[in-house]
Amino acid sequence: MTTRFEVTAGFVPLLDSALLVVAKEMGFAETESVALSLVREVSWATIRDRLAVSQFNVAHILAPMPIACNLGLTPLAPRMIAPMALGLGGNAVTVSADLWQSMSDHGATADLDPGKNGAALEKVVAGRSGEPLRFAVVHPFSGHNYELRYWLAASGIDPDRDIEMMVLPPPEMPNALLMGALDGYCVGEPWNTAGVLNGRGHIVTTKAAIWRSSPEKVLGVNARWADREPEALIALLRALYKSALWCAEAANAMALAQLLSAPAYVGKSVEWLLPAISGNLLVADGVSLNEPDFWLPHTRAATFPWKSHALWFYSQMVRWGQVTHGPQNASVAENTYRPDIYRTALKSLGVALPSASSKVEGSLVRQTPVGSTGTLMLGPDGFFDGNLFDPDRLDDYIAQQQKLPA
């Protein structure tokens, strides 16, 4: 008799919960003998806490959060592993209509160029008197926080002195922008599109432009459960990989938007969801740009948990004073991501797998075939300012980052 695995997963209603939703709704979990229960939650703190007390086995979670938990930086921190990423990209930076007009006066354009638009924002900030601009992110230990800070600092703006940074739940951001309580925010979809449609917002750049092929959410796994139920975890990873393949098919874009629009999942209209899924991003009222790299659920090894991604997040935790750098902390961060489990799970599917577990982030300027167990294309993966992140030179990178505008 085939063993049936009971798995309970938490998720926050966002576009990049798609792999879990599709695994359940399209039968990929069932095919792998996984009875997958999905529980919608409103906050990342609740996701973290319910993992800690074993109410969830796994969860759709912010990519840096398992690292922060393992470093003891959060209350009720569960021991967590991340054996799979849930896609690349998916975030954007949206600003108010008033701030966009000021940025346009200083050379910003609608092409989402982070260098050009960051320079325009720096001029606005430098010429401003009175209260600083106010920007929101979803959590201190989020890719949103780190990519926004990285973009601002590389543009000559100190995120801790030149602007005010705050944490706000994604659904509150568009209305806060419309009411003038915020000047901008960095968030995942569909809340940038919502800001354009409901908040008169303007998308000025994207995660995929700040750091190409960069991670956003991962599968956070209660490590005690993973140790106790390794076969269940492997079956779930296979189901999620098949889900990623389905999500990546352009022909499935409308069906995916309709699935996610259900009240049990994201619960927002197809009009809000389809732009990011299709890559036809709505950047302002009546203005769309084709951005095929905005959210990648499968290509470029999008579900592979690179240790270099984990270490880059760690480097930003150090840079912004959240943790002290040292060999032990670096090791904890690096070993939170588990490509070994990913390889074990997918080996039987015969898919192309990276042969390395880390890479120099920013070294690939174009799509490049790499050595693996099959044909695999990686990149481009560069940072917009031309910097590289070599995980083998972590100490040097952290020292360099701390010397940049901060």
User: CA 285 to CA 267: how far, in whole Å?
Assistant: 22
Cβ(12)–Cβ(18) below 8 Å = no
* Residue at 352 is within a domain: no
Q: Which residue blocks in 266-374 are alpha helix, DSSP H? A: 270-278, 307-319, 327-336, 339-346
What's the rounded Cα separation, in Å, for the pair 339 and 359?
Answer: 13
DSSP-derived secondary structure for 94-149: EE-HHHHHHHHHTT--TT--HHHHHHHHHHHHHT--SSPPEEEES-TTSHHHHHHH
Residues 98 and 267: their CA atoms lie apart, in Å, by 30
Specify if 166 maps to a domain.
yes
How many structural domains are present in the chain? 2
Q: Which domain does 102 fall in, by range?
A: 89-210
Query: Does 158 reside within a domain?
Result: yes
Does residue 260 belong to any structural domain of this protein? yes
- 338 and 235 in a common domain: yes
Q: Is residue 384 part of a domain?
A: no
Task: Render each residue's pLDDT in the chain as its tens digit; 406 residues.
Answer: 578 999 999 999 999 999 999 999 999 999 999 999 999 999 999 999 999 999 999 999 999 999 999 999 998 888 999 999 999 999 999 999 999 999 999 999 999 999 999 999 999 999 999 899 999 999 999 999 999 999 999 999 999 999 999 999 999 999 999 999 999 999 999 999 999 998 789 999 999 999 999 999 999 999 999 999 999 999 999 999 999 999 999 999 999 999 999 999 999 999 999 999 999 999 998 899 999 999 999 999 999 999 999 999 999 999 999 999 999 999 999 999 999 999 999 999 989 899 999 999 999 988 888 865 557 999 999 999 999 999 999 999 999 987 665 4
CA distances 50 to 9, 39, 61, 339, Å, are: 10, 11, 12, 24
For 222, phi then psi, to 5°, come to -60, 115
Shared domain for 18 and 78, answered yes or no, is yes
Q: How far apart are CA 143 and CA 152, in angstroms?
A: 14
Quick one: 206 and 97 in the same domain? yes
Q: How far apart are CA 132 and CA 155, in angstroms?
A: 16
Contacts of 123 (CB under 8 A, 6+ apart): 106, 107
Q: In whole angstroms, what is the distance from residue 74 CA to residue 43 CA?
A: 14
Q: Which residues of 157-183 are buried (b: 16+ CB within 10 A; e: fewer)?
A: bebeebbebeebbbeebbebbbeeebb
CB-neighbour burial class of residue 140 (10 A; exposed 0-12, middle 13-18, buried 19+): buried
Q: Is 203 found in the same domain as 240?
A: no
Q: Are residues 166 and 239 in the same domain?
A: no
Q: Residue 18's domain is classified under what CATH number?
A: 3.40.190.10
**Separation between Cα atoms, residue 310 and residue 312, nearest integer Å:** 6
Is 135 inside any structural domain?
yes
**Domain end: 167, 192, 210, which one?**
210
Co-location of 83 and 112 in the same domain: no
Residue 287 resides in a domain: no
Q: Do 223 and 328 fall into the same domain?
A: yes
> What tokens were used for 64?
């840096």
Cα separations in angstroms, 3 against 26, 177, 235, 382: 20, 50, 11, 44
- 8-state DSSP, 343: H
Strands 202-206 and 377-378: unpaired
> Does residue 391 sit within a domain?
no
Shared domain for 83 and 220, answered yes or no, is yes
Helix, strand, coil percent values for the chain (each to nearest 5):
45, 20, 35
Domain boundary among 177, 194, 210: 210
Query: Are 16 and 162 members of one domain?
Result: no
Residues 6+ apart with CB under 8 A from 75: none
Whether residue 38 is found in the same domain as residue 94 = no
Residues 221 and 335 in one domain: yes
Looking at the structure, tell me whether residues 67 and 127 fall in a common domain. Answer: no
